Amino acid sequence: MQERVFITGCTGLVGGHLLVRLYLQGFTIKALVRKTSSFEQLRLISDFYNVPFKELHRSVDWVYGDTMDYVGLTETLINCETVYHCAALVSFGKGSREALLKTNVQGTANMVDASLANGVKTFCFVSSIAALGKESENDFINEETTRDVDKPVSGYSESKYLSELEIWRGAAEGLNVVVVNPGVILGPGLPDKGSLLIVNVGSKGIPFYVDSQTGYVDVRDVCRALMELVERKQFGKRFVMVSRNMNIKQLFTLIAAEYGKKGPTLHVGTGWLKLAAGLLGIVSWFTRKPSQLSTDTLHSIAHPEYYSSELLQETIGFLFTPMEDTIHDTVLFLKHLNKEQNN
């Protein structure tokens, strides 16, 4: 009989793919969801793997709750051997720092404490490259890159960094932990949510691009690596997960090509972005809705980042899915979805 695993964030992109893949391997699954959660994305992901959603849904032991409820988590994690903590609030808008710190950090602390209380064997945490340091001496950022805690960062970056500290606290108290730091995660899922919005933008064949460079990874690789790291008991380590470092022009060119359109050719400087951020800030003040182009976002756009996944590749011989295949499969999925919705 396969071991009993517990997943948070299963209605999100990573958690959804992970849940289906664990189901296909015969694991006994318990999953935490809020009563207000939508299963729409999980249904789409289930379809992508040709798994009947009703069958999947029946096989999972669903627990309605929240990571902020420590007592509830302690009761829920009884007899669970491996925990995959994928749930997190993701926001780069202005005014979201407090919510990010409360949800991501305290939620992770509660998960760690509940796992320790129940003698969970392995705790897997999906972190982010946002938690890593940026002061690299050899151009590439990796697991050992120093993080300047006095340097201003986004609320999301701070929340993931502090969440990781909770993970390492759990490790110091005897918890076997596995941490992965994925780049921007792409793959089949809801087209109007999270990082897949990037694909939607790129599908328009927009002519403009900015000087922004970061690391990207396939969601299927994140799940595959997590499961393999657990199987090989690679505890007490963090692993950067980036398939390819790309700038916005390269990314949008790949996406546009899948739609038979021309990639961006007109460069836009940060001066125009600062003006746009100021205008959006004024609109935000009147509408009382957060601006999506914050100072934090501008900072990340203006500072190209290059990441190395050498440790993961050397440790388990991991081979990444080429980003061309990731984009192709994602666009193919979105086209099929769009065709179904129009019929």
**Chain segment 81-97, per-residue pLDDT in tens:** 999 999 987 765 555 78
CB contact at 8 A, 12 and 41: yes
Strand order across the beta sheet in which 213-218 lies: 184-186, 213-218, 244-247
Q: What is the largest CA-CA distance in the chain?
A: 60
Q: CB neighbours of 144 closer than 8 A, spacing ≥ 6? A: none
The yes-or-no verdict on residue 275 having pLDDT over 60 is no
Most confident of 127-136, 186-195, 205-214, 215-224: 215-224
pLDDT confidence tier of residue 138, bands split at 50, 70 and 90: low
Instruction: Please report, in angstroms and rounded to a whole number, the separation of the first and last CA atoms in the chain.
Output: 43
Mean pLDDT, residues 225-233 taken together = 97
Residue with tokens 């299927």: 220
Q: What is the pLDDT of residues 29-46, one digit of tens each?
A: 999 999 999 999 999 999
Give the integer Cα–Cα distance in Å for 265 and 275.
21
Per-residue confidence (pLDDT) for residue 110, from 0 to 100: 97
The yes-or-no verdict on residue 287 having pLDDT over 50 is no
Give the integer Cα–Cα distance in Å for 121 and 115.
8
Q: CB neighbours of 53 closer than 8 A, spacing ≥ 6? A: 39, 42, 43, 46, 47
Per-residue confidence (pLDDT) for residue 281, from 0 to 100: 45
Characterize the bridge pairing of strands 213-218 and 244-247. Answer: antiparallel
CB contact at 8 A, 219 and 19: no
Mean pLDDT, residues 196-212 taken together = 81
Smallest Cα–Cα separation from 59: which of 29, 20, 92?
Answer: 29
Per-residue confidence (pLDDT) for residue 294, from 0 to 100: 46
Under the phi-then-psi rule, with left for phi > 0, alpha for psi from -120 to 50, and beta for the rest, what region is 267?
A: beta
Higher pLDDT, 194 or 241: 241
Per-residue confidence (pLDDT) for residue 304, from 0 to 100: 75
pLDDT confidence tier of residue 124, bands split at 50, 70 and 90: very high
Q: Which DSSP helix (H) or strand (E) runs through 237? A: strand 237-241
Mean pLDDT, residues 307-326 taken together = 97
Per-residue confidence (pLDDT) for residue 135, from 0 to 100: 72
Q: Which DSSP helix (H) or strand (E) runs through 32? A: strand 28-33
- Residue 71's CB is within 10 A of a number of other CB atoms, namely 10
Average pLDDT value for the chain: 87
The yes-or-no verdict on residue 73 having pLDDT over 70 is yes
Residue with tokens 């409360």: 102
The CATH code of the domain at 4-187+216-243 is 3.40.50.720
pLDDT confidence tier of residue 271, bands split at 50, 70 and 90: low
CB contact at 8 A, 231 and 289: no
CB contact at 8 A, 219 and 154: no
Mean pLDDT, residues 283-308 taken together = 54
Q: What is the pLDDT of residues 104-117, one digit of tens each?
A: 999 999 999 999 99
Give the integer Cα–Cα distance in Å for 277 and 178.
38
The yes-or-no verdict on residue 328 having pLDDT over 70 is yes
The yes-or-no verdict on residue 197 having pLDDT over 70 is yes
Per-residue confidence (pLDDT) for residue 296, from 0 to 100: 47
Give the integer Cα–Cα distance in Å for 256 and 112.
42
The DSSP call for residue 130 is G
Query: Angle, nearest 10°, between helix axes 13-24 and 219-231?
Result: 50
The DSSP call for residue 141 is B
Q: CB neighbours of 262 closer than 8 A, spacing ≥ 6? A: 205, 207, 256
Tell me the domain boundaries of the chain. Answer: 4-187+216-243
